[in-house]
Amino acid sequence: MSTTSDPLARLSEEGVAVWLDDLSRDRLTTGNLQTLVDEKHVVGVTTNPSIFQAAITKSSLYDDDLRRHAGLGSDADAAVRDLTTDDVRAAADLFTSVAQRSSNGDGRVSIEVDPRLAHDTDGTIAQARELWSEVDRPNIYVKIPATKAGLPAITAGIAAGISVNVTLIFSIDRYREVMDAYQAGLEQRLAAGESLEGIASVASFFVSRVDSEIDKRLESVGTDEALALRGKSAVANARLAYAAYLEVVGAERWQRLEQAGAQRQRPLWASTSTKNPDYPDTLYVDDLVAPETVNTMPEATIEAVADHGTVDGDTVTPNIGNARETLAAVSAAGVDLDDVSAVLEREGVEKFETAWNDLLDSVNAKLEAAK
């Protein structure tokens, strides 16, 4: 297939890494994940509590392990930790050759700290170290949320040599704090005489949820001007995040780190399946093409892009000015963008906590049944 008729290949050529936002034992054992690597240009995997909850509760492939844990007297937390780290380890092994060919942090699989620790700095640092050690593969990321409590944990993780995927970023201001936290961790590592080799990071900037929240508020305003802005905020917000990224990597502070061997912390577009059926299903891929970025997609979005994605050069950098105008108009229409970010972060943490608790309840029930 020529790249002109293969939008995913074009996406890769434009500098956008295609990652799968899903993982399950079914994908690993059926060869589905390997097929996506071979045929759909997938070079990484992200997971989150909701993904593991769906994977473990909807499959029988974990039952033997759960019976073993029941025999050992394991609690639900220990069993879930074992199941998830096993899957991430297996996926990381599948991506070993991709990681070895990559110079920018592709070929990696992400695993998230317990979402109940989102506001606990010390607990997050401790669990990031545990997960890094337990999975014991160089080509993983430990996901740490970009909450206020998460920021010092990001710095500590990087300083300890742990590659970090920073998740749940919604605002430009918080994204700048994330980039600062990453650089501080690298600086601490250098000051301690440690190498920066092998350390990678991505900053996961959430996209579709921004439109979902802002569109709701624009509809409450109800004016023609407000309604005309629906479906434009998420892309504009992400484009301004990329402008902030370019500013940071162009600054003297970063240049010093790069000369010492640091890898750039690529912006990662997360939550890129469209939630509104009125919007094109490839909107948050086609409109967010830029070098040195990652787009992590559920398989349905990967298939949609493969089928009818429109990838024709950088769609971010030339539109940064328009993005500023769009968000200024949204703000002028009466939408409090700071409040939007705060609400989305709180809801994001709560959603993952709920999924995790549901998973623990389900696993606990299976452990009890197995006894």
Are residues 141 and 163 in contact, defined by beta-carbon separation less than 8 angstroms? yes
Identify whether 245 is part of a domain.
yes
Host domain of residue 278: 7-204+237-314+350-370
Identify whether 354 is part of a domain.
yes
Identify whether 138 is part of a domain.
yes
What CATH number is associated with residue 284? 3.20.20.70
Place of tokens 């240009």: 41
The residues carrying an active-site annotation are 143
Residue 256 corresponds to which amino acid?
R
For residue 4, the model assigns a pLDDT of 63
Which one, of 289, 282, 271, 238, lies nearest residue 12 by Cα?
289
Q: Which residues have a Cβ under 8 Å from the Cβ of 5 and sit 6 or more positions away?
A: none
Identify whether 142 is part of a domain.
yes
Classified as helix, coil or strand, 10 is: helix
Identify whether 360 is part of a domain.
yes
For residue 188, the model assigns a pLDDT of 98
CA angle 209, 211, 214 (to 5 degrees): 105
The Cα 367–Cα 371 span in angstroms is 6
Classified as helix, coil or strand, 31 is: coil
Identify whether 334 is part of a domain.
no
The Cα 40–Cα 46 span in angstroms is 16
Are residues 311 and 289 in contact, defined by beta-carbon separation less than 8 angstroms? yes
- Strand 42-45 and strand 108-112: the pairing is parallel
Cα dihedral value 60, 62, 64, 67, nearest 10: -110
For residue 2, the model assigns a pLDDT of 44
For residue 3, the model assigns a pLDDT of 53
CA angle 94, 99, 104 (to 5 degrees): 150
Domain count, the chain: 1
Residue 99 corresponds to which amino acid?
A
Low-confidence ranges of the chain (pLDDT < 70): 1-4
CB count in 10 Å sphere of residue 173: 12
Identify whether 2 is part of a domain.
no
Tokens linked to 293? 């970025």
Identify whether 323 is part of a domain.
no
